Structure 1
Amino acid sequence: MVHSLRSPFYDQTKDIVQTYSKHSDSITVVFTEVSGATRYILRAESNNFFLETTVLGSPGTVVQLQPYTDYTLSVMSVNSGGRSQPSEPVRSKTVVTAPMLNTTSPSNNSILVFWPPVDNAVLYTLCIIREGSSSRLKLNTTDTTMTFDNLEAGVTYCIKGTAWDSSGLTGDDLTVCQITRPSSPDVVNVQVNTGGRSLVAVFWIPVQGAENYTAWTSNGQNCSSALGYCNIIPVECGQNVSVFVTAYNSAGPSNPSQPEGYITCRYITHSYIQHFCTHSVLLVEFYMAFIKRDDGTENSCNTTNTICPFSCTCGYTYFVTVFPYNSAGASPFSHVSNYTTIPCCPQSITINLVSTDTLEVMWTPVKGAELYETTAAQTNDVIHCNDTAPVCALSDLSCNTAYSVMVTPCSELQGCNRTCTEFTQETAPCTPEIQNIIQTNNSTYTVLITTPNTLNTNYTITATGRYDTHTCQTRNNSCELTQLPCGSTYEVTTVAITAAGQSLPGYSKPLETGPCCPLSINVNQVTQAMTNVTWSPGSGARSYITTLMSSHGHARCHTLNTQCLMGCITCSTNYSVYMDAISSTGHKSECNYRGFSSSPCCPSGVKLYRRANNSLRVYWRSLGPQINNHTVELYGTAANYTCIAIAGSIYCDIQEETCGDVYTVVAAPLGQNGMKINFCQPRTYSVPCPGSNAGMSKYSLNCKFYILFCSS
């Protein structure tokens, strides 16, 4: 007997429950597993692309796909009998690729990240975390560059980048790590060695993240080390030298350290004695060197060598005499040699900001200086002053800038002492300008300004009016002036303030507050469809737009006066009262007032009937809601009659005393105050006596007669 190996689940349906893509080259498929299957085949199709992947169960992942591409996916079950039919196909799309991040550290507290645009990406997310820390910062951007500031020097940071597509799905992520540049090392000691080997030992404090250090001098010498010191060899005596130290790591060099100056003093040698006492050199047992300073201070040195070091002070001239000695005594003669040290650095330096762009530098004259050079590093060391006077003005400087000022003393013999300390002074802040003034409400205005200075600069905005002044302070680009009275004009200026001083005020801009709303407004109804609105003048207002608004419509007028007539009024209607007060320059104030209710509607179709019991009935139709009482008045030549009808009634009966009279009939509603509405129109009727041949007649206002035949 032959058995068929047809798949037992050939006709079973395998449902794809879910598909998702977490990587740009793969899609994961979640499907319903079928009993008896030993494995499954995932099929992915797109245009001319076809790929089948074997998986053991759900979920399964199809790889080697293209980023941000639509695929048709289906699943088939497989056992020893073969494979089943494919499931119902499902469409799914791969996500976008990760941005290829590149990093660099332009300074010791920042990292710049940049990358080429990712196809089909509309947004990028960068997450930065400090190595060894759990805190992180996440930022979104549509640009392809991002700078992270306020970082720690010499520390490694890792940045993860992710792209988003237009449907809000994130793609692959890529993480790169970057170390910031090291901070500037501090030079702690410079030792000049004048023994058998002439050298200068430079010591500094190692900084975080540095891999190597280079010390270099102002005369072009240098040394490098991975430790906290190095030696500069050789050293020539009698030089004025500054030394700087720079730290390095893979991100680049740090800023140079502050310069540390040192002076190599001159040493007195025996060459003069050899020249003077040649035949007695072989018999010398020791030497006596006498050093006398030009202020009379003396010193001496006793040595058997041919070198005698001594300490020298800046700004003096030294006279040196060397006598050789042996058992016979001292040589009777010796040359006198002189040496003048470099002038001293000024110590009592004061720097004052005398105007927004000018610094005045003053100091106490120092010994040995014949001339002073004043420079600032931020002006490319241009000599601002080259004078014998101990004062200098640095002018035409940039605002909001810290200048490192150095006063260099010079002499004709030794030149200039360039090891003096720099002194820093900041100039006044830059002038802010008003960009715009926006009205927030009737008494508040937002002033937008430029912020051309460093962070944490204080800005003061001042509005000066004829009778008052208003101010506000801010550290950003906007500030609110509050409680400004209506109908006023102000001149608005702004200044910047830092610890260094105050800037020049920016150009002023005028500010006109909105006109004042009228204090009172009255709405009087003239006729059933017309009102007269009056109001008090509003300060600063030239014209007014008055609006009566209701659910049935609105009435509006625009006038230069303080009153206007408005038609289109609907009776028995509640109105909201609004007004726009407008100044001559177009400033507008919106004013709201207590509402107004129009009078009840006058009845229509008023008719007068005689009844069988010698009474008269006045009948009417109510136009508005029947919530008001009505009064009916009949004025005849012989008698007058009045009756009141309650709300909801449409007639009123009057007992007549004398027949055959002509009556003027007025039917009018009563207002909320119980007073009759006065502008309902009268009607005139002639009422004959019973048995008369004439019917009841109605007179119109133009005195034409209309005969009405009424049944009783």
Structure 2
Amino acid sequence: MAVAEGSGGHRVTCDTDQHTCNIIGLQCGQTYQIYVSGVDGDCIGSRSEVHILETAPCVPQNVQTILECQSTVLNITWQQRGQAHHYHTTVRSSDGRVLGCDSNVTFCQVPHILCGLTYSVTVVAYSQTCNSSQSSVQHVTSAPCPPDAIFTVLDCELNTVSVSWDSSVDGVLYIAKAFDFNNDQNYYTCNTTETSCDITLTCGIDYNVTVVPLRDGCTGANAPVQYVMAAPCVPLMLDVEMDCLSDSAWLTWEESAGAELYIATATDSDGEVYQCNSTEGQCTVEQLQCGRFYNFSVTASNSQCNSPTSNTMESETAPCPPQNVVTSVGCGTGMVSVSWDESVGALSYTATLERTDGETTCCTANSTSCEVINLPCGQMYVLTVTAEGRTCNSSQSIEVIVRSVPCIPESLVSSTSCSDNVATMSWVSNEVGELYMVRAISDDGLHFDSCSGFGQSCDLTMLMCGVPYTATVIAQDSICTSPPSQAAPIRTVPCVPDYVSADVICQGNDLSVFWQESAGADSYTAMLEDSYGHLTNCQSMNDTTCTVNSLACGQTYHVSVIASDGYCDSLPSAIIDVNTAPCMPRGIRALMDCQSGTAALSWQPGTGAMQYVTTAVDESGHALSCESNNTNCELTGLACGESYNITVLAEGQTCSSAATMSGPLSTGEQSYSNHLLEYS
């Protein structure tokens, strides 16, 4: 007898008188102990060796599929009776793809579930050696698929977005949603089973638009989002302020939602349009035409749409600025007259003269001219004329430069350059751009000089030396000339002394210098420079001569004279050369030839000598002489037995100097006529 005893107590047997038999009725999923015992009648023998047998697993029961809407993971559970080693779940999609999962528990997950498909699910249990049959088939359908792409078209006038997509699936409801970009709790929808629908949007809001499919209560994933910018809301025009000076209008409005840019428009009666753009709630419309009425409005804009036009406001520009402004200045009265062309729409006019320091003077008129009096002299003004209208004044006319009459220059003074007799005239004036003219006349009325410049000084370069002048200065612009300033004296440089001469007083080697009186001079200085460059001078206060005493002998002096007035010295006069007396000869020696009655004389030269005259005078007064350009000469005709005094005279250009030999020259007796005698 063969016996199979299950772990749960189930027992099945088979009897045979052979060596084999089949045990039937085993339960699935059980582990059985198999053994054989001999049977003899009522007596059963001991058990054979036991063998363990696992039966095939039971078929999994109650298979459940759990697929949450929009989930891509399929959860599968089942119940298992008896033992099983592991399980394999097979998932077949309606498009033929096969997925699966293995598990050793009664649960598994299948990922990668795609939308819009129906899946068939079966489970098979496995033991170590066998597997069960497939479980009953379970069907599950995934969430509907969203459109692959959606398209949006915005109708700016209706502020409606048309949402469309390529295709639809039967049984699926498509819901188009427009979410507020900044608040996804705020949204608008439309739905259809077709491929398009329209959503009406609120102005000024940015939206994310998508489409979601719905089937059997399951909502699929969102289609790719499209960004839609609704048309901006209509702005509210608040105010128009006219800028009278620039012919422009300052517009303000209440900013509207969704606006990226505002376009403000001004339209005149002829339909001419002027605009300005702004990203804020104001802008200025420029270059409006003067003297016109305008209607003002504003439109909001973004990158997609423009809003409808706002409410309209009306305003008027300023009168046109006066044209052809003309001025004239009365040089005698200082009055400035202003005239201009009439401006249409002007009720009155104001002419304004503004000084460079900001001070202004005005005149007002109902006609096209007015006059300004009592203007300070020497001022530069910028003249403008404005027209006053009903609500606004015009911008200024083109600027005109106006000068009041020039002021009389003040504090005229002179400064004379001693080196070139140029007088620099300077004065005080704060005016710019004016020409100043200086006129100088000598006190005797015979000489004139003038200079001019745009600064506060100029140079008189043609003045006569030693002549006093009186100068005045006037200021001049392109129209008028000022009266002369107070006169200022001019001191010129003394003239160079003329006709300079000099005499040498030979006795004391004194030198007297003479010259002609110089105009403008109060004193004189005679300058003497010797051959070695040494200077000597003499001065004279009123006379035209002076003397230098005890000059060195044998010198050539270069003599010039300078005139002075206590402020300036003249240039030196032309140089004349004067020679002093020559120096006396020295070392006179004589060599007497008694036989011939001849004496040879020699000496050291005297500086400055041009020639020498040697004289021998005997006791009776009889004289003999010889002349020489050299330092020796020969006396002949000397008588025997006489004694001579020898004198050597050095002759210069104007003076002479004499030297005597220290002892007499004796000619000796006749008996000594053959002897030569030397004297020194």
Same topology, TM > 0.5: no
What is the TM-score of this pair, normalised by structure 2? Answer: 0.45
TM-score (norm 1): 0.43
Q: Which protein shows a greater Rg?
A: 2
